[in-house]
Chain A
Amino acid sequence: MFDQIKEFASGFFVTGDPLIYGADVSILLVTAAIIFTLTYFKKWRWLWREWLTSVDHKKIGIMYILAAFLMMFRGGVDALLMRAQLAIPGADFLQPDHYNEVFTTHGVIMILFMAMPFMFGLFNIIVPLQIGARDVAYPILNSLSFWLFFAGAMLFNLSFVIGGSPDAGWLAYPPYSELMYNPGVGQDFYIWGIQISGIGSLMTGINFLVTILKMRAPGMKLMKMPLFPWSVLSSCIAIIFSFPILTATLALLFLDRYAGAHFFTLDGGGNPMMYINLIWMWGHPEVYIIVLPAFGIFSEIVSTFSRKKLFGYQSMVYAMIIISVLSFLVWAHHFFTMGSGAGVNTFFALSTMLIAIPTGVKVFNWLFTMFRGRITVKTPMLWTIGFIPCFIVGGLTGVLLSVAPADFQFHNSYFLIAHFHQVIIGGVIFGYFAGLYYWWPKMFGFTLNEHIGKWAFWFWNIGFYACFMPQYVLGLMGMTRRVVSYGWDKGWWPLNFVSTIGAALMGIAFVLQVWQIIHGVKHYRKNLDTTGDPWDGRTLEWSIPSPAPHYNFAVLPQVEELDDWWEKKQRGVHKQLNNIAEEKLEPIHMPKNSGMPIIMAGCWFLAGFGFVFHWLWLTIPGLAGVAICMLAHSFNYDTDYYIPVKEIKETEAALRKVTIS
């Protein structure tokens, strides 16, 4: 009996590495600490009612961002481990197998479990507020999306201590990701972690598309809508058409591994190149999915902090829509070297270069908006200014990569790594940070310390250039990606060493940001945002108190023009904060909380875990649980309620710190 248990445990739990034991201990300690704190302060009910079952888009958004920060920590630790290994030639800090696992989990976590939820968090918090809506189109579905993402992310992370991490790269190319070369459970964790969270992403895409098309405040024509919702709309279009491709591709890979199919194997008529072809049909649009909302954020910030209308609003809108559709026509640039004919390579090289045009239009529009504006450089604006040079360099190196013959030199080298980190960090992550700082007061009702924020900004930026500029050179010198070690004779070490220092600086920057948030929470009384409009904003979210009441708008705004709130302020006809009493308040229709989403995601988690270990006794009840949740939900008619006028008055009075008769 004991021997059996021991045998099972030795295969089930990952052992033999001090890093893993450290992780085991810290997971246990953190879990114990959370359980203890919640029990000691009797917070379980509060947690369940106020957060876990909440369908309030603002709370869901906050949970998304919190999770994204946790994942940024995990992915960042992976990054530092890799850079530590590469700092000195011949280092044996990480073994080759372990190194493969680390770059795989780093990539997956950063793109799918950090950038995506960070983006969804901002969608959730801001889109309804900016379009003057009280919630998203499908609030319960929204909560389900979050919990599915969370279940998928946790399943993926679990692989580190149970069963073993995937190690076939963030896109899991066959044949290496096939059963023959990868018999462990790592790749199955990969497949199910991404599948489960992917369903959530697709539903978020649909939810926000409908929200934006159908729930805008009266009078807000599409061409009077702020740019951030426009960017969300174009990102959602790409999500809706590309995520099903990912789901299908991973499902085929799963059939290969689980059911002995031969879609992508080298025998039985399969073709691994088909996988590469399919995965990039999702993979390329995916990079635009995450960068488009960042463009939207920069547009909002540039015009607010330059106190000017955005230059070329319409061209910005068209540029974003064109980018989201064009992004479906360029995927083959990721495998120029795979051996396609000259015709294929030429077509995809040209279509790739075409995308640079609308992107360039946007950069010029931002610059023209700043030109002759009255610029104030608060942290959100600082990130925006930092983004522009970074993105220009990253975009230009992208154009270099799109030249098919040149790509034979750049392909899979550090040049590529430097390029995509430059656009992803300098474009996407800087953009989300800018958005987070910009909307922080709206989310929490207080502003963050600018001083610490500026330090964090500079550490991020200097660290960034120190880390990635040397990598362009290394790539040209012949250093390929995914090397675990290299010799002294190569002459690569000084540049690698500098690069590692840069990575460490970015690590410090992250710590500074966490400190900034803790500091902000501690001193929030001193930095209260009493006006609801701390930046003298232009769009509707600034017309309501901070933090926004759970019904958002006591009275739905009537929109007349672009930047409606700003124009109304200019003409002096905006509703003074204490004028709300003059409005005719009516009871507000709101959705009720629901426990279904978190339970259903939990069932998916169990089913996924069962699939990973081929445990049908767990998979079947898990899937049954999913079905029962759906059934129970479809018979639940008690999904909404009305907030009485009296309660609205009280809430408004408390938030606006005025009395309303």
Chain B
Amino acid sequence: MAHVDGTHPVEENHGSLKSYTIGYLFSIVLTIIPIAIILGGWLHGTAKAVVLMLLGVLQFIVQLFFFMHLREEKKPRYNLISLILGLVILVVIVAGSMWIMLYNMVET
């Protein structure tokens, strides 16, 4: 019922034309670069993997700030807190699995 009730806070600020345009340009650039890397065969091996992953992370950050309005959230910062918790658990899952599974390869 929250969505229809008067208890719902007044419409939050959803960004300006300027911030949307900047975000859009950023994300286009961050999409073109990896495509170019792959199609043009610019980088190889570890360098390629690292650069692609970095670009992915940057893309994620741009989305959060320009389209998900992470900065504009009001006081109880539930979105930010849950995002951080989500990231922590994600890192635990991925890094933890790699750790456990790789250690399993060790002869016993």
Chain A interface (Cβ < 8 Å from any Cβ of B): 133-139, 210-211, 213-215, 237, 241, 245, 271, 273-274, 277-278, 281, 325, 328-329, 331-332, 338-341, 343-344, 589-591, 639-640
Contact = CB atoms under 8 A, between A and B. Distances in A.
A138 B4 CA distance: 10
Interface of B: 1-5, 7, 76, 78, 85-86, 89, 92-93, 96-97, 99-101, 103-104, 106, 108
B92 A338 contact: no
A339 B85 contact: no
Contacts of B103: 340-341, 343-344
Contact of B101 (A213, A245, A271, A329): A271
A274 B97 contact: yes
A277 B1 contact: no
Nearest to B107: A339
Contacts of B86: 241
A346 to B, nearest CB: 11
B12 to A, nearest CB: 13
A137 B97 contact: no
A158 to B, nearest CB: 33
Contacts, number: 65
A341 B102 CA distance: 9
B97 A278 contact: yes
B101 to A, nearest CB: 6
Contacts of B3: 137-138
A338 to B, nearest CB: 7
A343 B5 CA distance: 53
A340 B104 contact: yes
B74 to A, nearest CB: 12
A639 B76 CA distance: 29
A340 B100 contact: yes
Nearest to B99: A344
A278 B101 CA distance: 11
Given A241-B89, A325-B85, A329-B92, A137 B100 contact: no
6 contacts: A137-B2, A214-B2, A237-B85, A277-B100, A328-B89, A341-B104
Contact of A328 (B4, B7, B92, B104): B92
A329 B5 CA distance: 39
A339 B101 CA distance: 10
A341 B103 CA distance: 5
Given A137-B2, A139-B1, A241-B89, A332 B100 contact: yes
Contacts of A274: 97, 101
Contact of A273 (B7, B92, B104, B108): B104
A134 B1 contact: yes
Given A138-B3, A214-B2, A214-B7, 13 more contacts: A133-B1, A137-B1, A213-B76, A215-B7, A281-B96, A281-B97, A328-B89, A328-B92, A332-B96, A332-B100, A338-B104, A589-B5, A590-B1
Nearest to B108: A339
Contacts of B78: 213
A518 B108 CA distance: 59
B85 A277 contact: no
Task: Give the top 8 A-B pairs by smallest Cβ distance, nearest first.
Answer: A341-B103, A135-B1, A137-B2, A241-B89, A344-B103, A340-B103, A214-B2, A344-B100
Contacts of A135: 1
Contacts of A271: 101
Contacts of A328: 89, 92
Contact of B2 (A210, A245, A340): A210
A211 B3 CA distance: 11
Given A215-B7, A328-B89, A591 B101 contact: no
B85 to A, nearest CB: 7
B56 to A, nearest CB: 19
A271 B78 CA distance: 38
B33 to A, nearest CB: 29
A512 to B, nearest CB: 39
Nearest to A329: B92
Contacts of B100: 277, 332, 340, 344
Contacts of B76: 213
A343 B100 CA distance: 9
Contacts of B99: 344
B68 to A, nearest CB: 17
Nearest to A135: B1
B92 A277 contact: no
Contacts of A338: 104
B106 A341 contact: yes
Contact of A245 (B1, B5, B93): B93
Contacts of B5: 589
A339 B2 CA distance: 50
Nearest to A241: B89
Contacts of A329: 92
A327 B96 CA distance: 14
A274 B5 CA distance: 46
Contact of A589 (B4, B96, B106): B4
